């Protein structure tokens, strides 16, 4: 019952204030020794479930709202930065430096009519944006935002994360098919192909991290990073970042909503706040994904001098900046090339990464208990080997793998007859 | 549903059944989508009725006319000078060259010869306009490729400078009406020349910037190399002209093969492509911008003071007859066929619109490719609906 | 420099292959009989000395008593150009043979002329209206066209 309190400073205070008693004294009363009387909370013994429910709701409320504020700021940041990348100014009319632009956008979206097309499947059509947003927020449940700051540290955290983010594909497909619009259908069908394909290399890339950390819990993974896994797993980092941008429909893999091809893809028919939900989910996906990358590869909240939360935010926004940068620079990859990239390029690299990492753990790690530990020198040696392997394998694969696909052969009879000069 | 094409021997669903016998009973059929008239990348109100097998294009039928204003009919009741304003609105991102082609035709009809200085001013203006038009084409092509407006905005930054120069010349930025039958509207003001020199100095650096950003970009190359190849024979047969024809590898430039105005006094190269694919059609425009800069530079050196308008009556009455004048427009051979009956208005005003005729090959180029390629190919043809629909 | 071939010279060069096709010539223009247009164009394109491989434009002019269709042709190998004209009489159903089989570039231009001027091109594979919609009353570039009363 009290396992969730371990190391969780976000929820401990309120819970203990409500329900401290002899049973959870180890967590709630500082300096408590067996035999001593424990602090007494407001609620009598046997009502811990209520305290838990209240605490969890409050924590979820806080985290969600703070996160939404951050997402709001992030939309502002993205528009502003893209403005700078595109030699223009960006939004600067609403509030100081245009900071209230997200508020104005939200008001606009809320006051717009929400249109449901005639040909749409009403249930699916209305459910899709909710499914999209909810799954996006579920990621927050396991993400450690700072030292001891998380909602739940479950021992299958990473698995939960992968499971929850893949529901996204279902939501997008629902939206695409339910709209009764052909562009939306294109978007939905592309979504199924692309999102499911990119799950595979993404999960493979994380296996290296798991091998090194020896745990699926995100808190344990952060604590296991004496050296940031970015250095130990550069190939895994690369695959994960690329796969994540495909999962989030970020350019250059934004084929599901490719504006120049299929108008807005799966959310072509959405308006008002339902469109706003997709928009929100898409933008907050950048933040949550950046958070996951920071946790898995960049030491999570750890860092010198500054408080852990600040470090975490810095890393998140640093990564978000990279995503914005990529978005404003690169052209889009065609859908079949996107698929070829996942299956021909990222998948073998992911397998190679697992193989190399496992071999290194066998050779360099000293057995201790159930797992293996590494000396600092061993870790640096491993980093050196892995960086070399990454550069070499990416170079070799980009020579070997061609993403170009020819056109479907067309019988000459269907083309205009051309006479020689 | 049938497309009447029979691209594969079996319908698409059958192919999967053969791969996985009995595993799935999949049924599929071609789907027809109207790409446009409201679509982000049809470059105006333009519709393509496309039949898809999945993402692959089985058939395309371009449908246009949404912007038809009857310019050719309108011109029949306007004087020769008034018609200039109509030409502005044909290809509205290249008004200067439209003006030029029209006034050349009218001068040919009336037997007028503009003064030297006017011809130089026209060439300078036309080449600047070509750069501006190519900038738009490149920017929108990259937008069609999905580069989220960044190259477009970079291109607009330089186009803005050209529009500023045009504003100095004639006070307008888009619908210029700068040229007149027998010369130009007015001489360039004093501060035009330093501004033009500054632009000429800066612009090569900007083109370098585009090349650094785009030419070697792996995604761009993968997306465009070998896609929608247009052979020289096909291009000539379909009357395709301009950058599209040159991208196919045929050095056909009316400024060289049939020089008008002062093009025989300037030296420049005609860039050609190798394969005639989308990549060459993109690259050739960057190369042509450099050549246009060379032309403008030489014109600035050669231009001499003098009058800019030939003596001509306020109401032009060319003798009865007809004349066809053509120039190398930014999009291809831009020709005007004028017929006069001796009155103050042209009896017939016919435009040979390059982007209209270049569209002829669109269907042949995109069949068998994918939706995304079709959009890029359309962008690489560089159409302008004001000109296609007239 | 592209050399325009005068009508007289052109008439001389095609008269062996297409005897009797030429109506008259004046200056740079050459008038041919409308029903022989395709035959003349075929010769202009395939004859090695003429080699007109680029069809610049097709224009139609309504001279009230007849329609005149003007072909501007260029040879990219010999660097010369020609103007070919054909007069079609009658306002009900003026007809010319289509040259789409020779030059694909004629496709849209002939459709445009059919749409706006009402000259029909026989043998065109897809002679539909192109700028206006199917069912539009009349052909607006004709001199006697009056806008339909609203």
pTM to 2 decimal places: 0.85
Whether A363 shows a pLDDT value over 50: the answer reads yes
Q: How far apart are CA B260 and CA B120, in angstroms?
A: 11
Whether A290 shows a pLDDT value over 60: the answer reads yes
Q: Work out the minimum CA distance from C35 to partner chain B, whole angstroms.
A: 23
Q: What does the block give as tokens for A143?
A: 């993400």
- In the predicted model, what is the mean pLDDT of chain A? 82
Res B273: pLDDT: 87
Note whether B238 contacts A416, CB cutoff 8 Å: yes
From the list C53, C104, C107, the residue facing A421 with the nearest CB is C53
Q: How far apart are CA B267 and CA B296, in angstroms?
A: 11
Chain C residues within an 8 Å CB radius of A419: 102
SS3 B383: coil
Work out the percent of chain B whose per-residue pLDDT is above 70.
Answer: 93
Q: How confident is the model at residue B3 (pLDDT cuts 50, 70, 90)?
A: very low
CATH number (1.10.260.40, 3.30.460.80, 3.40.30.10, 3.40.50.1220) of C3-137 reads: 3.30.460.80
Q: How far apart are CA B180 and CA B311, in angstroms?
A: 11
Collect all residues with Cβ–Cβ distance below 8 Å to A386 and sequence separation of at least 6: A231, A232, A233, A234, A235, A356, A357, A360
Lowest mean pLDDT among A28-32, A153-157, B128-132, C103-107: A28-32
Mean pLDDT of C125-137: 85
Q: How far is CA B275 from the centre of its chain?
A: 20
Q: How far apart are CA A330 and CA A289, in angstroms?
A: 20
Describe the strand order of the beta sheet including B31-35 as a list of residue ranges.
B31-35, B47-53, B56-63
Q: Work out the minimum CA distance from A295 to partner chain B, whole angstroms.
A: 29
Res A321: pLDDT: 92
Domain layout of chain C by residue ranges: 3-137
Note whether B55 contacts A258, CB cutoff 8 Å: no
CB atoms within 10 A of CB A34: 6
Note whether C2 contacts B73, CB cutoff 8 Å: no
CB pairs under 8 A between A and B: 123
Chain C residues within an 8 Å CB radius of B356: 108, 112
From the list C2, C132, C141, the residue facing B65 with the nearest CB is C132
Chain B residue closest in CA terms to C103: B237
Q: How far apart are CA A265 and CA A278, in angstroms?
A: 12
Contact with chain C for residue A419, Cβ under 8 A:
yes
Chain B residues within an 8 Å CB radius of A330: 147, 217, 219
Q: Which of A261, A411, A419, A421 to mutate to test the interface with B (most CBs of B within 10 A)?
A: A261
Taking the CA atoms of residue A155, residue A158, residue A163 and residue A167 in that order, the dihedral angle to the nearest 10 degrees is 130
In sequence order, what are the beta bridge partners of B339? B322, B348
B61 to each of A404, B37, B124, B289, how far by Cα in Å?
A: 26, 13, 39, 32
Whether A193 shows a pLDDT value over 60: the answer reads yes
Res B364: pLDDT: 85
Q: What does the block give as tokens for C59?
A: 């224009």
Q: In chain B, which among 351-380 make CB contacts under 8 A with chain C?
A: 352, 356-357, 359-361
Q: Work out the minimum CA distance from A139 to partner chain B, whole angstroms.
A: 28
Q: How far apart are CA C117 and CA C94, in angstroms?
A: 10
Q: How far apart are CA B273 and CA B277, in angstroms?
A: 9
Q: Which of C104, C108, C110, C111 to mutate to test the interface with A (most CBs of A within 10 A)?
A: C104
Cis peptide before B334 (omega within 30 of 0): no
Lowest mean pLDDT among A282-291, B171-180, C141-150: C141-150
Chain A residue closest in CA terms to C51: A421
Whether C70 shows a pLDDT value over 80: the answer reads yes
Q: How far apart are CA B153 and CA B143, in angstroms?
A: 10
Q: How far apart are CA B220 and CA A155, in angstroms?
A: 44
Q: What does the block give as tokens for A132?
A: 């999209």
Q: Which residue has the tokens 């562009």?
A: A183
Chain C residues within an 8 Å CB radius of B236: 53-54, 76
Task: Give tens-digit pLDDT for A298-353.
Answer: 887 887 888 888 888 889 999 999 999 988 888 888 888 888 888 888 899 999 99
Instruction: Let me know if A324 is exposed, middle or buried by CB neighbors in 10 A (0-12, 13-18, 19+).
Output: buried
Chain A residue closest in CA terms to C54: A421
Task: Give tens-digit pLDDT for A83-120.
Answer: 988 888 888 888 888 888 888 988 988 898 888 888 78
Chain A residues within an 8 Å CB radius of B155: none
Res B337: pLDDT: 92
Which H or E run contains B169?
helix B150-170
From the list A263, A418, A420, the residue facing B39 with the nearest CB is A263
- 3-state secondary structure labels for all residues of B285-353: HHHHHHHHHHHHHHHHHHCCCCCCECCCCCCCCCCCEEEEEEEEECCEEEEEEEEECCCCCCCEEEEEC
Instruction: Let me know if B131 is exposed, middle or buried by CB neighbors in 10 A (0-12, 13-18, 19+).
Output: buried
Work out whether strand B56-63 and strand B47-53 pair parallel, antiparallel, or are unpaired. antiparallel
Res B163: pLDDT: 92
Angle at A132 between CA A273 and CA A262, to 5 degrees: 75
Chains that touch C (3 or more CB pairs under 8 A): A, B
Q: What does the block give as tokens for A274?
A: 């339902």
Rg over CA atoms, chain A: 25
Task: Give tens-digit pLDDT for B256-273.
Answer: 888 888 888 888 888 988
Q: Which of B145, B169, B182 is nearest to B378 (CA)?
A: B145
Q: How far apart are CA C54 and CA B381, in angstroms?
A: 18
**Could you report how far apart the first and last alpha carbons of chain A are, in Å?**
85
Q: How far apart are CA A212 and CA A229, in angstroms?
A: 9
CB pairs under 8 A between B and C: 89
Q: Length of chain C, please?
A: 150
Instruction: Let me know if A363 is exposed, middle or buried by CB neighbors in 10 A (0-12, 13-18, 19+).
Output: exposed
Q: Work out the minimum CA distance from A103 to partner chain B, whole angstroms.
A: 24
Contact with chain B for residue A335, Cβ under 8 A:
yes
Q: How far apart are CA B350 and CA B335, in angstroms?
A: 8
Q: DSSP labels for A122-182?
A: HHHHHHHHHHHHHHHHHGGGT---BTTB-S---TTHHHHHHHHHHHHHHHHHHHHHHTT-H
Which H or E run contains C41?
helix C37-46
**8 Å CB contact between B207 and B133:** no
In sequence order, what are the beta bridge partners of B309? B183
Chain A residue closest in CA terms to C125: A416
Q: How far is CA A92 from the centre of its chain?
A: 29
Collect all residues with Cβ–Cβ distance below 8 Å to A275 and sequence separation of at least 6: A109, A129, A267
Q: What does the block give as tokens for A377?
A: 């020198």
Within 13 A of A271's CA, how many CA atoms are on the CB side? 8
Res C37: pLDDT: 87
Contact with chain C for residue B338, Cβ under 8 A:
no
Q: What does the block give as tokens for B199?
A: 């632009």
Note whether C104 contacts A418, CB cutoff 8 Å: yes
Work out whether strand B321-329 and strand B332-340 pair parallel, antiparallel, or are unpaired. antiparallel
Q: How far apart are CA C102 and CA C6, in angstroms?
A: 23
Work out whether strand C22-26 and strand A371-373 pair parallel, antiparallel, or are unpaired. unpaired
Q: For the packed helices B371-381 and B278-302, what is the interaxial angle rounded to 10 degrees?
A: 20
Query: Ranked by mean pLDDT, which of A405-409, B35-39, B306-310, B327-331 comes out on top?
Result: B327-331
Q: How far apart are CA C73 and CA C80, in angstroms?
A: 9
B178 to each of B162, B186, B224, B329, how far by Cα in Å?
A: 14, 8, 37, 16
Res B131: pLDDT: 92
SS3 B184: strand
- In the predicted model, what is the mean pLDDT of chain C? 86
Cis peptide before B190 (omega within 30 of 0): no
Contact with chain C for residue A415, Cβ under 8 A:
no
Q: Work out the minimum CA distance from B56 to partner chain A, whole angstroms.
A: 8
Chain A residues within an 8 Å CB radius of C104: 416-418
Q: How far apart are CA A76 and CA C112, in angstroms?
A: 50
From the list A329, A408, A419, the residue facing B368 with the nearest CB is A408
Res A22: pLDDT: 67
Q: Work out the minimum CA distance from B16 to partner chain A, whole angstroms.
A: 16
Q: What does the block give as tokens for B332?
A: 């291809």
Work out the percent of chain A whose per-residue pLDDT is above 70.
Answer: 88
Lowest mean pLDDT among A126-135, A332-341, A358-367, B72-81: A358-367
Q: What does the block give as tokens for A130?
A: 């909710």
Chain A residues within an 8 Å CB radius of C53: 421
Q: What does the block give as tokens for B325?
A: 């004048």
Note whether A410 contacts B368, CB cutoff 8 Å: yes
- In the predicted model, what is the mean pLDDT of chain B? 85
**8 Å CB contact between B259 and B250:** no
Chain A residues within an 8 Å CB radius of B232: 421
Q: Which residues of C touch B (CB under 8 A)?
A: 1-2, 53-57, 59-62, 70, 72, 76, 79, 83, 103-109, 112, 116, 130-133, 140-141
Q: Is A319 left (phi over 0), alpha (psi -120 to 50) or beta?
A: alpha
| B164 compared with B14, residue with greater pLDDT | B164
């Amino acid at each position: 019952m009290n396992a969730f309190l371990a190391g969780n400073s976000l929820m401990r205070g309120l819970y203990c204030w409500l329900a401290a008693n002899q049973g959870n004294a180890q967590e709630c009363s500082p300096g408590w020794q067996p035999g001593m009387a424990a602090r007494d909370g407001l609620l009598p013994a046997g009502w811990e479930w209520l305290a838990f429910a209240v605490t969890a709701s409050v924590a979820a409320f806080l985290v969600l709202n703070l996160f939404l504020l951050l997402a709001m700021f992030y939309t502002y940041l993205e528009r502003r930065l893209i403005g700078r990348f595109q030699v223009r100014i960006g939004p600067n009319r609403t509030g100081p430096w245009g900071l209230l632009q997200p508020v104005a956008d939200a008001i606009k979206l809320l006051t717009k009519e929400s249109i449901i097309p005639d040909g749409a499947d009403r249930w699916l059509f209305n459910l899709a944006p909710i499914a999209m947003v909810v799954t996006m927020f579920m990621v927050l449940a396991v993400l450690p935002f700072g030292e001891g700051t998380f909602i739940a540290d479950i021992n299958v955290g990473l698995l939960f994360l992968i499971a929850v983010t893949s529901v996204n594909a279902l939501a997008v497909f629902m939206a695409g098919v339910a709209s009764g619009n052909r562009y939306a259908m294109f978007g939905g069908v592309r979504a199924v192909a692309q999102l499911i394909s990119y799950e595979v290399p993404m999960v493979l890339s994380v296996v290296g991290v798991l091998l090194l950390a020896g745990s699926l819990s995100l808190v344990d993974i952060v604590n296991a990073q004496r050296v940031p896994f970015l250095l130990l797993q550069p190939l895994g980092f690369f695959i994960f970042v690329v796969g994540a941008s495909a999962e989030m429909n970020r350019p250059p893999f934004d084929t599901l909503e490719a504006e120049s091809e299929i108008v807005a893809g799966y959310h072509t028919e959405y308006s008002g706040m339902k469109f706003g939900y997709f928009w929100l989910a898409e933008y907050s996906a950048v933040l949550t994904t950046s958070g996951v990358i920071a946790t898995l590869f960049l030491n999570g909240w750890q860092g010198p001098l500054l408080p852990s939360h600040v470090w975490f935010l810095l890393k998140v926004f640093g990564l978000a900046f990279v995503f914005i940068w990529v978005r404003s620079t690169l052209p889009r990859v065609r859908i079949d090339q996107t698929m070829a990239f996942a299956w021909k390029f990222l998948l073998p690299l992911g397998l190679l990464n697992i193989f190399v990492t496992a071999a290194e753990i066998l050779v360099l790690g000293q057995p201790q208990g159930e797992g293996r530990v590494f000396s600092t020198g061993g870790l640096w040696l491993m980093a050196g080997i892995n960086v070399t392997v990454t550069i070499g394998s990416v170079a070799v694969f980009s020579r070997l793998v061609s993403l170009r696909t020819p056109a479907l052969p067309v019988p000459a009879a269907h083309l205009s007859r051309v006479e020689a000069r | 549903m049938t497309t009447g094409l029979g691209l594969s021997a079996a319908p698409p669903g059958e192919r999967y059944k053969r791969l996985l016998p009995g595993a799935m009973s999949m049924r599929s059929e071609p789907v027809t989508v109207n790409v446009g008239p409201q679509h982000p990348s049809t470059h105006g109100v333009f519709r393509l009725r496309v039949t898809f097998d999945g993402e692959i294009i089985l058939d395309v039928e371009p449908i246009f006319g949404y912007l038809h204003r009857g310019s050719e009919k309108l011109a029949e009741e306007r004087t020769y000078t008034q018609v200039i304003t109509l030409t502005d609105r044909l290809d509205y991102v290249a008004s200067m060259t439209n003006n030029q082609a029209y006034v050349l035709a009218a001068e040919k009809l009336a037997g007028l010869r503009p003064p030297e200085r006017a011809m130089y001013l026209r060439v300078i203006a036309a080449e600047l306009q070509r750069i501006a038009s190519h900038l738009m084409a490149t920017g929108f092509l990259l937008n069609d490729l999905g580069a989220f407006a960044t190259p477009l905005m970079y291109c607009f930054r330089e186009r803005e400078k050209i529009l500023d120069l045009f504003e100095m010349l004639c006070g307008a930025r888009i619908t210029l009406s700068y040229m007149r039958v027998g010369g130009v509207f007015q001489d360039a003001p004093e501060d035009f020349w330093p501004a033009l020199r500054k632009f000429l100095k800066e612009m090569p650096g900007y083109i370098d910037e585009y090349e650094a950003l785009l030419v070697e970009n792996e995604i761009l190359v993968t997306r465009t190399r070998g896609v929608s190849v247009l052979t020289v024979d096909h291009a000539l047969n379909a009357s395709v002209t301009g950058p599209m024809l040159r991208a196919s590898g045929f050095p056909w430039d009316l400024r060289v093969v049939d020089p008008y105005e002062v093009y025989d006094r300037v030296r420049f190269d005609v860039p050609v492509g190798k394969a005639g694919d989308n990549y060459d059609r993109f690259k050739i425009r960057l190369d042509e911008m450099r050549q246009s800069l060379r032309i403008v530079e030489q014109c600035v050196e050669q231009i001499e003071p003098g009058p800019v308008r030939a003596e001509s009556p306020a109401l032009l009455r060319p003798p009865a007859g007809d004349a066809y004048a053509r120039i190398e427009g930014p999009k291809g051979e831009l020709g005007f066929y004028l017929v006069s009956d001796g009155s103050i208005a042209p009896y017939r005003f016919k435009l040979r619109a390059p982007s209209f005729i270049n569209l002829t090959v669109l269907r042949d180029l995109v069949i068998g490719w994918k939706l995304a390629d079709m959009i890029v190919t359309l962008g690489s043809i560089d159409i302008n609906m004001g000109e296609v629909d007239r | 420099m592209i050399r325009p071939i005068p009508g007289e010279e052109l008439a001389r060069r095609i008269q062996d292959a297409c005897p009797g096709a030429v109506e008259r010539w004046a200056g740079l223009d050459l008038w041919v009989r409308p029903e022989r247009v395709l035959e003349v164009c075929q010769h202009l394109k395939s004859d090695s000395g003429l080699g007109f491989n680029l069809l610049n434009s097709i224009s139609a002019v309504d001279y009230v008593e007849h329609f005149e269709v003007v072909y501007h042709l260029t040879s990219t190998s010999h660097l010369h150009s020609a103007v070919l004209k054909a007069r079609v009489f009658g306002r009900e159903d003026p007809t010319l043979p289509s040259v789409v089989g020779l030059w694909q570039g004629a496709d849209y231009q002939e459709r445009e002329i059919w749409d706006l001027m009402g000259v029909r091109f026989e043998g065109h594979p897809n002679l539909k209206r192109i700028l206006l919609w199917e069912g539009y009353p009349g052909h607006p570039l004709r001199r006697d066209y009056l806008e339909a009363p609203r």
